[in-house]
């Protein structure tokens, strides 16, 4: 199963190919996507992305995770979260969201089992 292409990104809106939903923040993995609801894990801009935000994505068997920190990179990614991924044998890229989406799409197009979490505002 391949990772779906992120079809479009603009401030506060993301569309994933093959999905009718418009996301503000989203999680993607091989074969699917859904809204990334920060309230589920108590995530805020600081301290930022927690391992709990990524568990669902890594359970899908991804080899690489791309984290989009927002258009102005306001969303933090603590070293403990990066360490969590590396300890699970997963490559991680932490980038500004536009760059993260471009990198994610490039990896997906090459057939890499890639997942991601993306913040589309600040």
pLDDT tops 90 at residue 52: yes
Whether 1 is in a domain gets the answer no
Range of the domain at 39: 6-118
Question: What's the DSSP call for residue 103?
Answer: H
State the pLDDT at residue 73. 98
Q: Within 18-75, where are the H helices?
A: 51-58
pLDDT of 6-51, one tens digit each? 999 999 999 999 999 999 999 999 999 999 999 999 999 999 999 9
Whether 69 is in a domain gets the answer yes
Helix (H) or strand (E) holding 109, with range, is helix 97-109
From the DSSP assignment, how many helices (H) and strands (E) are in the chain?
3, 8
CATH of the domain at 85: 3.40.1230.10
Which pair of tokens denotes residue 55?
Answer: 């568990």
Is the CB of residue 1 less than 8 Å from the CB of residue 31?
yes
Whether 51 is in a domain gets the answer yes
Question: The whole model's pTM is what?
Answer: 0.97
* Number of independent structural domains in the chain: 1
Going by pLDDT thresholds of 50, 70 and 90, the confidence category of residue 1 is: confident
């Amino acid at each position: 199963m391949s990772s779906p292409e992120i079809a479009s990104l603009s401030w506060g809106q993301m569309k994933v190919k093959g999905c009718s939903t418009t996301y503000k923040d989203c999680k993607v993995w091989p074969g699917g996507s859904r809204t990334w609801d920060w309230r589920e894990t108590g995530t805020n801009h600081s301290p930022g992305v927690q391992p709990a935000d990524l568990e669902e994505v890594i359970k899908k068997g991804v080899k690489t995770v791309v984290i989009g920190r927002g258009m102005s990179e306001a969303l933090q990614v603590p070293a403990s979260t990066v360490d969590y991924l590396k300890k699970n044998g997963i490559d991680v890229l932490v980038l500004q969201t536009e760059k993260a989406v471009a990198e994610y799409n490039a990896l997906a197009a090459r057939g890499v089992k890639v997942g991601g979490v993306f913040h589309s505002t600040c």
